Amino acid sequence: MCGIVGVAARSPANQAIYDSLLLLQHRGQDAAGIATSHDQFFNMYKAHGLVRDVFRTRNMRALPGTSGLGQVRYPTAGSSDSVDEAQPFYVNAPFGITFVHNGNLTNWRELREELFRIDRRHINTNSDSEVLLNVFAHELQLASSGVSLDENAVFNAVSAVHRRTKGAYAVIAQIASFGMVAFRDPYGIRPLCLGSLATDNGVEWMVASESVALTGCGYTFVRDIAPGEALLIDLDGNVSSRQCAENPIFTPCVFEYVYFARPDSLMDGVSIYDARLNMGEYLADKVAKNLRLGEIDVVMPIPDSSRPSAMQLASRLGLNYREGFIKNRYVGRTFIMPGQAVRKKSVRQKLSAIDMEFRGKNVLLVDDSIVRGTTSQQIVEMAISAGANKVFFASAAPPVRFPNVYGIDMPTQAELIATGRDTNEVARAIGAAGLVYQDLEDLESSIRDLNPGITQFESSCFNGRYVTGDIDAAYLERLGSTRGNQAASISDDDA
């Protein structure tokens, strides 16, 4: 789940891009990059690491220009080792394009083959994003051949991208000496929004994965980009847009609301914070049905993402709410780290228990989700060694039982703790005295209650339904044997 940003400003853009990437850091911790546009040149710098480690003053100085793009990466194709797969990407023809992508294409292997055989384009990495850029570049070449590059050609190229590609993509691209284009796949699986800032020199624009990047940099949130829509910001700052998909069907990723997005973001008309409070409300009702409330002394969140849900659950049930785990603020998010060994080690480095909150008590721990069980297994253990009498567990999301193919790196069923286990068996596997999972219907209602316009969700990791229609057992098997093995080898190396 990468974070992407594009800035079309009236003064140097590098600092605003850097600042917004810091605000999107929770979406990708593996690599960061910025490409700015100055005169007819692009300047680019990308490397492994967190934003604050990647960019030194000298790198920032080498990024002049009033517009540019940035990305923080969480790999879902290729590997985290290759800096060539960090973003932005660049192609020199047609015109010169820099490009950032959040999401994951599901037909990128076929497209790569097609690009080479028919379109005569070579892809030099295993990144699906490089494939997506080359499809866009090829289609832009076709759409502008024999005519001058204009808005029509750009929008026609995006329409062709929608026809050829499958999967999830939120994209921002810069076309040299022409402008910035941003678009979202026809299902709007990954988020993208627009903000503006009035300055003495005119209006500046920012496009970003989450509204927190806009507001944190002083921009005002304008609107979400619609599924299938493309937006063009020309060199004078004029914005135009067009629906480029034939049949857009809004189907946002439910996991953005559960875990990925920051609580202070507004996404597709929904406050993430409010959605998580609602998740706590619904979960509370299920907890009340499944556990004996009189047995619970205290409710605790697992920092950070579960806090709003845990707090709301406790308040609805009239139970005490305490913080029993303290988070080391210098350790990043565990779930998006590459490799199981490093994820496992990080939970211990990241969270420690305050013994006095546990001693002799029956605690209900609340997390936003249980995926591989890395966090919950260790946290229950820590609670018990801190002196807890009984440890119950509640998850604000349903059991994760299916691989994700749209930008969350969980390629195999085998890695998911709920695979082949019912709720009681998962409870035993994580060492909990009782476990309550949210129902999918309630999870979706938590979000839909705040925006009834969302009629369906991309909830494949919970229900195995893949909205793009191209995912079958053979696809998942191939994904597991390629990416799953790769993930396993990362964990071995890191162990």
Ligand X SMILES: O=P(O)(O)OC[C@H]1O[C@H](OP(=O)(O)OP(=O)(O)O)[C@H](O)[C@@H]1O
To the question of whether residue 39 is assigned a binding role by annotation, the answer is no
Instruction: Give the separation between CA 426 and CA 401, rounded to whole angstroms.
Output: 12
Interface segment toward ligand GLN; rule CB under 6 A; list 101-109, 149-157, 358-366, 396-404:
101-109
Residue type, 480: G
Residue 139 as a binder of ligand GLN (CB under 6 A): the answer is no
Select from 12, 70, 75, 339 the one that contacts ligand GLN (CB under 6 A). 75
To the question of whether residue 367 is assigned a binding role by annotation, the answer is yes
Answer with the entry of Mg ion, ligand X, ligand GLN, none that 102 interacts with (C-beta below 5 to 8 A by kind): ligand GLN
Residue 264 as a binder of ligand X (CB under 6 A): the answer is no
Give, as ranges, the residues between 292 and 311 that touch Mg ion (CB under 5 A): 305
Contact present, 358 and 347 (Cβ < 8 Å):
no
Residue 281 as a binder of ligand X (CB under 6 A): the answer is no
Tokens of 419: 């695979």
Q: Torsion-angle region of residue 103: left (phi > 0), alpha (psi -120 to 50) or beta? A: left
| SS3 at position 435 | strand
The DSSP-derived string for 162-225 is HHH--EEEEEEEEETTTEEEEEE-TT--S--EEEEEEETTEEEEEEESSHHHHHHTTPEEEEEP
The nearer residue to ligand X, 333 or 361, going by C-beta atoms, is 333
Residue 345 as a binder of ligand X (CB under 6 A): the answer is no
Quote the least distance from Cβ 48 to ligand GLN, whole Å.
Answer: 13
Residue 320 phi/psi, 5-degree rounding, is -65, 145
The nearer residue to Mg ion, 126 or 305, going by C-beta atoms, is 305
Number of residue whose CB is nearest ligand GLN: 2
Residue 407 as a binder of ligand GLN (CB under 6 A): the answer is yes
| SS3 at position 364 | strand
Instruction: Give the separation between CA 137 and CA 135, rounded to whole angstroms.
Output: 5
The nearer residue to ligand GLN, 191 or 399, going by C-beta atoms, is 191
Strands 229-234 and 239-243: antiparallel
To the question of whether residue 368 is assigned a binding role by annotation, the answer is yes
Catalytic (active site) residue 2: yes
> Considering just the CA atoms, what is the radius of gyration of the chain in Å?
23
Quote the least distance from Cβ 9 to ligand X, whole Å.
Answer: 31
Answer with the entry of ligand GLN, Mg ion, ligand X, none that 276 interacts with (C-beta below 5 to 8 A by kind): none
CA 28 to chain centre: 8
Select from 106, 144, 375, 459 the one that contacts ligand X (CB under 6 A). 375
Omega before 88 within 30 of 0, i.e. cis: yes
Residue 259 as a binder of ligand X (CB under 6 A): the answer is yes
What are the percentages of helix, strand and coil residues in the chain, rounded to 5? 35, 25, 40
Residue 78 as a binder of ligand GLN (CB under 6 A): the answer is yes
Interface segment toward ligand GLN; rule CB under 6 A; list 13-21, 70-78, 210-218, 422-430:
70-78
Tell me the number of residues near ligand GLN by CB under 6 A: 17
Q: Which residues contribute to the annotated binding site?
A: 305, 367-368
Q: Which residues are catalytic?
A: 2
Which residues make up the interface to Mg ion (CB under 5 A)? 305
Which residues make up the interface to ligand GLN (CB under 6 A)? 1-2, 73-78, 85, 101-104, 127-129, 407
